[in-house]
A and B are shown apart, each in its own frame.
Chain A
């Protein structure tokens, strides 16, 4: 089946690291994504990881993939107030056009 789950809320202090978690159920996923949605805006692709990778780093962002547990995480180092947003994980399956989105995690960064 297709199901992508995330915790709904996360609150961190400015300067700390944030870790946003996601679990998915479809083992045929090819790519896994992280999107950021700021208030009143569309979804902005932050990063993605191919399913044969364990880790991907891009500046302050680190994506970890545990394929055995079907667990994806996004770590934001030195979290800033501008990082406050909703973060969606998503998966796509090889050979399909379909993208399945998680429920979104609202990250609030406290000054």
Chain B
């Protein structure tokens, strides 16, 4: 049973292209995230959605646009890809904030990652 899944696992593309990465979670969580992990393995949050509403939007180029069709899905669309976009992108999910605090559930689950290489 896959808790947080991402597709594709690998993505190789040319500069200037537009691409999307999909994420789905079957944990019943309300909050989903996108992280970027660079070549030095530093992990930075990019976006977070709670119940389809954007709640965290870090300093990310506006070429990156997250879309949440429902609370189980958070997709990441990237326009005009650049060399510096090459990284591993991780999706994650966690329980709704209020329920986390009330039920002492405080865990964030990660997907396997999408390795993006821009040539």
Contacts and interface: CB of A to CB of B under 8 A. Distances in A.
Interface of A: 30-31, 33, 35, 37, 41-45, 48, 50, 86, 88, 90, 92, 94-101, 103-104, 106
Contacts, number: 59
21 contacts: A37-B41, A42-B4, A42-B111, A42-B112, A42-B113, A43-B43, A43-B90, A43-B110, A45-B108, A45-B109, A48-B106, A50-B106, A92-B106, A92-B108, A94-B101, A97-B97, A99-B45, A101-B35, A101-B45, A104-B43, A106-B41
B68 interface: no
B41 A104 contact: yes
- Do most interface residues of chain A lie in helix, strand or loop, or is the interface mixed? strand
B55 A97 contact: yes
A69 B112 CA distance: 34
Contacts of B35: 101
B56 to A, nearest CB: 6
A35 B2 CA distance: 18
Interface of B: 4, 31, 33, 35, 41-45, 48, 50, 55-56, 90, 92, 94, 97, 101, 104, 106-113
B24 to A, nearest CB: 14
